[in-house]
Amino acid sequence: MPNRDYHSERREYNFASLDRDQIDANPFEQFTKWMTFAHQEAEIKDPTAMSVTTVDAEGQPHSRVVLLKEFSASGFVFYTNYNSAKAHELANNAKAALLFFWPELDRQIRIEGTISRIDPEKSKAYFHSRPRGSQLAALISEQSEVVADRATLEQRLQQAETTYQDQEIPAPANWGGYQLKANLFEFWQGRPNRLHDRFRYLKQGENWQIDRLCP
């Protein structure tokens, strides 16, 4: 085990502040502002990378990073294998959480809600917009299943390349999108002395209740 002591590793968060009069009444608009800034102005690498947390039948949480592909007031969309571990967990419990963290901006966004599958035709359209190599990988991968070695995966990929040479790759029936419908947002802005700014949006009927939270 490493002997390095991590207790003293810290830095101050000085990028910005977040006050009530700075945030939008609509959490989707606030999310859009922060995402646009991260993507276009701050040029954050992979700003759409987010942790998706699901819970299995035993109550054990599982997190993994995926890429956000679409968002609107209807929800937040990502794509995956419908036979994956996360898919089985969502079939058992549709409640999930998303987390975006941009250390360059001292910002994070938490989003909670319920997840459902999107329209199959929409999934198919997105599948065919992906690079050909990504399509083939989705076709041959039995996501979350044990595999003997990488050579096995590469052999499957080579076989698929041969099979579908000069042909359209069929969208797998077990691959598609999920959409999280949000009922809670939290916007976190790191501040000096760990006295961070936190604002929570909680869905109340058709409205959003906004509260400042202690850090």
Average pLDDT estimate for 182-203:
98
Residue 34 backbone phi and psi in degrees, to 5: -70, -40
Percent of the chain residues topping a pLDDT of 70: 99
Q: What is residue 166's predicted lDDT score, i.e. its pLDDT?
A: 87
Q: Is the dihedral of CA 191, 70, 63, 2 positive or negative?
A: negative
pTM of the model: 0.92
Q: Long-range contacts made by residues 137-141, C-beta under 8 angstroms, separation at least 24?
A: 138/81, 138/172, 138/175, 139/169, 139/170, 139/172, 139/175, 141/81
134-185 pLDDT, tens digit per residue, is: 999 998 888 777 777 899 888 998 988 899 998 999 999 999 999 999 999 9
Please state, in angstroms and rounded to a whole number, the distance separating the CA atoms of residues 67 and 51.
9
- Answer yes or no: is pLDDT of 43 > 90: no
Contact 179, 90 (CB under 8 A): no
Confidence of residue 2 (pLDDT cuts 50, 70, 90): low
CB-count exposure of residue 93 (10 Å: 0-12, 13-18, 19+): middle
Active site positions, annotated: 194
Higher pLDDT, 12 or 179: 179
- Answer yes or no: is pLDDT of 5 > 90: no
Please state, in angstroms and rounded to a whole number, the distance separating the CA atoms of residues 201 and 28.
10
Average pLDDT estimate for 29-52:
96
- Answer yes or no: is pLDDT of 193 > 80: yes
Sketch out the chain's domains with CATH numbers: 20-213 (2.30.110.10)
